[in-house]
Structure 1
Amino acid sequence: MEAVRSNLGGFRVKMCGIVQYVNLFGVAVGYTIASAISTMAIRRSNCFHDSGGKDPCKMNGNPYMIGFGVAEIILSQIPEFDQLWWLSYVAAVMSFTYSGIGLGLGIGKTAGNGEIKGSLTGVKIGEISKVRKIWRTFQALGNIAFAYSYSLILIEIQDTVKSPPSELSIMKKASRVSIAVTTFFYMLCGCMGYAAFGDSAPGNLLTGFGFYNPFWLIDIANAAIVIHLLGAYQVFCQPLFAFLEAKVIKAFPNTTFFTHEFEISIPFYNKPYKLSLFRLVWRTVFVMVTTTIAMLLPFFNDVVGLLGAIGFWPLTVFFPIEMYIEQMKIQKWGVKWVSLKLLSCGCLIVTIAATVGSIAGIVDDLQTYKPFKSDY
């Protein structure tokens, strides 16, 4: 919001804030769903192994979402969680662990099949209706957009970078490397998963149980996902926490409940822990709300597609392009100006299509879903 305020101002500042914070809230819901699915996958893989694949091993996802919520309530009380220097290293190790395992299992399955399954056009019309194929295609665009959603917290990340050298130069290099590595891994995982299973590929290679063995390897991959999401939830929520808390303290500077912090001594720790009752109550309520919504809408692929669609165009395309045009004083109706505007319009069409597809997927799921009964 501050970047948009500095470069553009006006109504667009509020528009940016609404989109960003709604999306951050949605990410918290999506991560709660994903963590529960991965935790259940660990139990189910062991169940499949013990029963030799005879037991369907159905289980309810709500206890796992509640467990994740309890963990996040505790983690949300850690001051400046996003500033922990080792957090990025843990996230990187976990990402490479589950991505590498998923890729390896896909390659192994394809080699075992002795053929590459699937086709360039995907599921054939007839096996599913034309309308459903269109909706799923649109939803897939949202899933892809969600994979590149770090624009939500890019500036907050840049704010934690030490200088010299300049934050800008470091962030440019980090963006180039991260996009290249992310694209490489996601393309490989997606292509090898489809090559292994064809049109019957599960929505998530590590939790859809296209793979049953080695069960311990699948357990490691899903454990890595849960560990990653425990920290990622907090990193994405920190800007939202900071924004609301700053607003409230500014509005009620003389109210003890909002401003006072109790100092609590912690054994073997030099600094006292500063407990804020307001922070304790509001962050706990926030986590409870995101957990409850996750239990009501446990449709991971559809929710992720919707989040990716909503946040992609405004935060990844529209505002950066508009700020760039303003900063560089690009001449209106010039070749560069028109090209940038066409890029923005094209991405807007993608966002609209992905939003429609994801909403259609959620509506379709709701027809057979009973609230708080998310059996997998």
Structure 2
Amino acid sequence: MQNNTMSIEQAPETLQNSDIRKNLDDDGRPKRTGSVTTASAHIITAVIGSGVLSLAWAIVQLGWVVGLAVLMAFSFITFFTSTLLADCYRAPDPVTGTRNYTYMDVVRAHLGGIKVQLCGIAQYCNLVGVTIGYTITASISMVAVKRSNCFHKHGHYVKCSISNYPFMIIFASIQIILSQIPNFHELSWLSIVAAIMSFAYSSIGLGLSIAKVAGGGHARTSLTGVTVGVDVSGSEKVWRSFQAIGDIAFAYAYSTVLIEIQDTLKSHPPENKVMKRASLVGVTTTTLFYILCGGFGYAAFGNKTPGNFLTGFGFYEPFWLIDLANICIAIHLIGAYQVFCQPIFGFVEGQCRQRWPESKFITHEHTIKIPFYGVYYINLFRLIWRTIYVIVTAVVAMILPFFNDFLGLIGAASFYPLTVYFPIEMYIAQSKIPKFSFRWVWLKILSWACLVVSLIAAAGSIQGLAKDLKTYKPFRIQN
């Protein structure tokens, strides 16, 4: 009877342990549920930012031939290097190896040494810069809604000056709430909404451009872009071309969050194969929209194309459609902000848990029952530190309203190492490619060519930043 009782008592525990194991992945973490759809949504959210509407300006500087060629070249480079990086998620084998949860972990597993620290500096500086830049860009789109209504009511030539600061505060308040989403695995729904918004405002911008072209309005375009001596000086043409190449290159970069996206995928089929398919969907979709929006935007406005034809008021009417597009931009950037800040949150919180594992303030999860939702887990450290982070990014955005120029510089510094150098070097190490073999040589040529592009873009960003600093007035309202 005693033995029977013991076996009866152990059965539920054994069954419970079996159920727990079924809900865990091979690394002991909760089963991942990501798919091609969710990964593609994350990629589109990360890549198609509001910058899609400024690509027409980039094509203006380069012209039809070079502009479209550069777009296609960087779409290929981005997809190719992303497939190399996807194979490095597990080490040493891309299918059966040990998982690596962050970009730094991947570099540590394949290269090690000081390269891990260099990767961390490049990645997290870029992520912080992007979140600050998105705060500025979202506020500009919100301001554009009010300005559009002002122009519709009072006329297109009325000066409608509206401060960005209240809208930065609104954006930050929303992010404080969304930042309590525990980790990247819970972001799928937000990324899908943001991806839909990116399609919406890109389609609106494209539709308005097509309507303007179909309307018969003549806009001067050329195969070589803006004309020296007519539109710009010789030096301006050079610097603007550098900036345009940098804008296009960085418009594709999502390597900073690729590993975190891949870590959300189911184990079967293998994560690297699913990630490659998602990258193909994301990059192809992005390239299609970039070519359509950039090309038709240039055709609609010619060499007078504004930096952003929705917030820069290339269009004034129909004002309600302009409002809808800018609202979609703001909603998209709300989701994109989370895609880029979640790796920062994960890194800081992981480091703190390792350093102070006994601290209940850092490790303890409190349960709160929410009607119609269920049990919500809240961590005090996560609540406080993430709130502080969002506030700091908003304050920096307010202090430096031209921070997008800094962002271009940060992007120039991070594009080469994160999108090109590390994926290529890790692939060479993982595949054990012999030195000076054909494959080794052309991979190195690609790497060095992208380094030159990154340096050119950095030079253009520095020149633009110096120009802004000369004309900057600290208390001028920025629109």
TM range (shorter): over 0.9
Q: For residues 120 and 184 of structure 1, do their structure 2 counterparts lie closer, same or farther at Cα, with a shift above 3 Å needed?
A: same
TM-score by length of 2: 0.75
**1:63 matched to 2:172:** no
Q: For residues 204 and 82 of structure 1, do their structure 2 counterparts lie closer, same or farther at Cα, with a shift above 3 Å needed?
A: farther
**1:316 matched to 2:419:** yes
1:137 positional shift: 1.4
Aligned to 1:151: 255
**1:14 matched to 2:117:** yes
Distance 1:109 1:301 in 2: 29
Instruction: Please give the residue correspondences for 1:110-149 in structure 2 after superposition, counting only pairs within 5 Å.
Output: 110-126=213-229, 127-149=231-253
Distance 1:97 1:188 in 2: 14
1:120 positional shift: 2.3
Paired residue total: 375
Distance 1:359 1:82 in 2: 37
Aligned match for 1:229, one of 333, 338, 351: 333
Distance 2:273 2:218 in 1: 45
Distance 2:177 2:477 in 1: 25
Aligned match for 2:358, one of 243, 254, 257: 254
Q: CA contact under 8 A between 2:183 and 2:346: conserved in structure 1?
A: no
Aligned to 1:167: 271
Counterpart secondary structure, 1:86? helix
Distance 2:255 2:463 in 1: 26
Q: CA contact under 8 A between 2:184 and 2:261: conserved in structure 1?
A: no
- For 1:99, the aligned partner's letter is S
1:81 positional shift: 5.5
Q: For residues 199 and 304 of structure 1, do their structure 2 counterparts lie closer, same or farther at Cα, with a shift above 3 Å needed?
A: farther
In terms of mean alpha carbon deviation, does 125-134 or 153-162 score higher?
125-134
Q: For residues 82 and 235 of structure 1, do their structure 2 counterparts lie closer, same or farther at Cα, with a shift above 3 Å needed?
A: farther
Percent identity, aligned pairs only, is 58
1:114 positional shift: 4.0
1:99 positional shift: 0.7
1:292 positional shift: 1.8
1:43 positional shift: 0.8
Q: CA contact under 8 A between 2:197 and 2:328: conserved in structure 1?
A: yes
- For 2:195, the aligned partner's letter is A
1:358 positional shift: 1.0
Q: For residues 114 and 371 of structure 1, do their structure 2 counterparts lie closer, same or farther at Cα, with a shift above 3 Å needed?
A: closer
Deviations 1:63-103 (A, max 9, x none): 21122112111211222365233223212211110111111
Q: CA contact under 8 A between 1:139 and 1:302: conserved in structure 2?
A: no
- For 1:250, the aligned partner's letter is Q
Q: For residues 340 and 81 of structure 1, do their structure 2 counterparts lie closer, same or farther at Cα, with a shift above 3 Å needed?
A: closer
Counterpart secondary structure, 1:265? strand
Counterpart secondary structure, 2:195? helix
In terms of mean alpha carbon deviation, does 121-130 or 85-94 score higher?
121-130
Q: For residues 356 and 374 of structure 1, do their structure 2 counterparts lie closer, same or farther at Cα, with a shift above 3 Å needed?
A: farther
1:341 positional shift: 0.7
Aligned match for 2:183, one of 67, 75, 80: 80
Aligned to 2:317: 213
Q: CA contact under 8 A between 1:82 and 1:238: conserved in structure 2?
A: no
Q: CA contact under 8 A between 2:191 and 2:336: conserved in structure 1?
A: no
Unaligned runs of 5+ in 1: none
1:124 positional shift: 2.3
Q: For residues 24 and 82 of structure 1, do their structure 2 counterparts lie closer, same or farther at Cα, with a shift above 3 Å needed?
A: farther
1:265 positional shift: 2.6
Distance 2:147 2:220 in 1: 26
1:365 positional shift: 1.2
- For 1:174, the aligned partner's letter is A
In terms of mean alpha carbon deviation, does 174-183 or 86-95 score higher?
86-95
Q: For residues 257 and 31 of structure 1, do their structure 2 counterparts lie closer, same or farther at Cα, with a shift above 3 Å needed?
A: same
1:305 positional shift: 2.8
Distance 1:373 1:252 in 2: 45
Deviations 1:191-213 (A, max 9, x none): 11111111211111211101001
- For 1:39, the aligned partner's letter is M
**1:347 matched to 2:447:** no
Q: CA contact under 8 A between 2:184 and 2:260: conserved in structure 1?
A: no
Q: For residues 112 and 70 of structure 1, do their structure 2 counterparts lie closer, same or farther at Cα, with a shift above 3 Å needed?
A: same
Q: Point out the structure with max Rg over C-alpha.
A: 2
Distance 1:151 1:94 in 2: 22
**1:48 matched to 2:151:** yes
In terms of mean alpha carbon deviation, does 243-252 or 289-298 score higher?
289-298
Counterpart secondary structure, 1:309? helix
Distance 2:411 2:305 in 1: 21
Counterpart secondary structure, 2:377? strand
In terms of mean alpha carbon deviation, does 146-155 or 124-133 score higher?
124-133
Aligned to 1:277: 380
Aligned to 1:97: 200
- For 2:395, the aligned partner's letter is T
